[in-house]
Structure 1
Amino acid sequence: MNIDIYQVDAFTDTIFKGNPAAVIPLDAPIEEVLMQSIAAENNLAETAFFYPIDGGYHLRWFTPTAEVPLCGHATLASAFVVFKFLKPELNSIRFNSASGWLVVNKRASDLELDFPLISYDSIDLPESVHRALGGNVIEAYRTEGDPNYLVVLESETAVQSIDPDIRALKDAAEVGVIVTARSDISSVDFVSRYFAPAMGIDEDPVTGSIHCVLTPYWSERLNKKTLQAKQLSERQGELECGLRESRVLIRGKATLFMKGALHLDI
């Protein structure tokens, strides 16, 4: 059996930048164990699988080690594949997922994700996480739902230069760790990085889903409804984020790196 596979760089218009995701359109569901094996073989931060259902598509995301309930960049990449290769006549796509219905709209030269807002609660950061992370922590929070630590640092430079002990962080934090600060430049409102070694991702290049909590956090502090964000991984990526009631709108670009086929003897 041959199955088409696309590799898309999300949140960028330049190959080798942004966050790469594998996208696998299906005609019908396949076994979960097979999806996990394919994701492990791809060895990218995320592999997305989707197939048609009434009203849109059913979408699932897998890291090399586990399925996750929400992934922004792989949703953007999946929508890019639908708009460019499968259904170019569409202007809007609905994906049913573990996080409910997600909508992606064409917006001029960008794609806009319509995602649920994620709330957060103030905490004392566990000492083991602080030691593994390093840096001068100003504030710390725990996100609701699928939890992450949200850690606020003193400056963009602090976010850029932080060098966590990944092995210790994997042992200390069973979830991901978002680090963020206000940007030093006027064209960007805030910056971030995301570490999730417990989920098989030492550092994620560009993470749409963390902006579901970063957007309300920085919107409140900067008194802005639309914000420009930059993720400071080695590959880097840029996002425009906005609030609409209990939803977060995330805009970004995507570009195709590779198209091929899986050859499965099943």
Structure 2
Amino acid sequence: MTQKIYQVDAFTDQVFAGNPAAVCPLDHWLEDELLHKIAKENNLAETAFYVKKQDQYELRWFTPKVEVDLCGHATLATAFVLFNYEGHKGSEIQFHSPRSGRLTVVKHSQLLTLNFPTDAIQEIERTKAITNCFNYPPTATFKGKTDYLLVYNLESDIRSLKPNLEEIAKLPVRGVIVTAKGEHVDFVSRFFAPQSGIDEDPVTGSAHTTLTPYWSKVLDKKDMTAIQLSDRKGYLKCTYLKDRVEISGQCALYLTGSINLN
């Protein structure tokens, strides 16, 4: 038995940049154990699997370690595959995630726009467990549904942060977002999730469900531009719609292939 696979670089218009995701179209759901094995073998931040169900697509995401509730870049990559290589007609795709509900992607020329639920965040105490995670402390600390959000003063702070991955892995969250106001865009960020098998994620769409409402309030803006400052870098456009956020970017195909499951 063979399984089709694509690898796509998301939130970029060129290969070797953005965030790579694997996408596997399925006729039916395979056993969870096999999905975990495929994701571990791919050894990418996320592998997305989807099954067509009537007029929508059921979608799930796996890191090399765990299944996750929401993944932006792998959703963007899946939509890119469906629009360009798997025959989806029209300019909108309806996904359903068993963990996150309805998700849509709309195509405008080369730009793909995710529509995701907004994260609810609250400010929390800046504990020693949090400050131990980086070489200098944040100015403010927040907690969302799955992540901590640490705010710094300058883009240069985000660039020069050195994570203590062992300490980050001890935190009771999916991962840690660090952010500051941008020099040439509205805001910048990085994302660390060693507890989920990802030391530093190149570009994290789901983190922008947390970042977008925060920066919209701080900057008093609805539409914003952002860069995730990993080595590969990712470029995003974000729109705050109160209970939903729109996150837009481009994709580039890296490979197509088949997995031998015999």
Residues of 1 paired with 2:104 and 2:173: CA distance? 29
Alignment of 1:100 onto 2:104: no
Segments ≥4 residues shifted beyond 3 Å: none
Equivalences for residues 57-136 of structure 1 within 5 A: 57-97=57-97, 98-136=99-137
What's the TM-score, normalizing by structure 1?
Answer: 0.96
Residue identity opposite 1:195 in structure 2: F
Residues of 2 paired with 1:76 and 1:172: CA distance? 28
Q: Residue 245 of structure 1 corresponds to which residue in structure 2?
A: 242
Conservation of the 8 A alpha-carbon contact between 2:213 and 2:242: no
Alignment of 1:260 onto 2:240: no
Task: Give the SS at the match of 2:139.
Answer: strand
- Structure 1 stretches lacking a partner, 5+ long: none
Q: Residue 18 of structure 1 corresponds to which residue in structure 2?
A: 18
What's the TM-score, normalizing by structure 2?
Answer: 0.97
Residues of 2 paired with 1:11 and 1:152: CA distance? 23
Conservation of the 8 A alpha-carbon contact between 2:92 and 2:105: yes
- Identity over the aligned pairs, expressed in percent? 47
Q: Summarize deviations over 1:3-37 as a string: whole Å, max 9, x none.
A: 11000000001100000000000011111110000
Residue identity opposite 1:228 in structure 2: T
Q: Return the offset for 1:85.
A: 0.6
Conservation of the 8 A alpha-carbon contact between 1:135 and 1:153: no
Residues of 1 paired with 2:171 and 2:240: CA distance? 32
Task: Give the SS at the match of 1:61.
Answer: strand
Conservation of the 8 A alpha-carbon contact between 1:241 and 1:250: yes
Residue identity opposite 1:128 in structure 2: A
Matched length = 261
Residues of 2 paired with 1:65 and 1:175: CA distance? 12
- Structure 2 stretches lacking a partner, 5+ long: none
Residues of 1 paired with 2:54 and 2:118: CA distance? 25
Conservation of the 8 A alpha-carbon contact between 1:102 and 1:113: yes
Q: Return the offset for 1:107.
A: 1.3
Residue identity opposite 1:259 in structure 2: T
Task: Give the SS at the match of 1:86.
Answer: coil
Residues of 1 paired with 2:168 and 2:25: CA distance? 34
Residues of 1 paired with 2:174 and 2:258: CA distance? 33
Q: Residue 156 of structure 1 corresponds to which residue in structure 2?
A: 155
Q: Residue 224 of structure 1 corresponds to which residue in structure 2?
A: 221
Residues of 2 paired with 1:205 and 1:221: CA distance? 25
RMSD of aligned alpha carbons: 1.0
Worse-matched range after superposition: 242-251 or 149-158: 242-251
Alignment of 1:199 onto 2:200: no
Q: Summarize deviations over 1:173-212 as a string: whole Å, max 9, x none.
A: 5430000000122xx0000000000110000000000100
Residues of 2 paired with 1:191 and 1:70: CA distance? 21
Q: Residue 231 of structure 2 corresponds to which residue in structure 1?
A: 234
Residue identity opposite 1:117 in structure 2: T
Residues of 2 paired with 1:36 and 1:24: CA distance? 13
Are residues 222 and 192 of structure 1, via their aligned partners in 2, closer, same or farther at CA, if it must alter by over 3 Å?
Answer: same
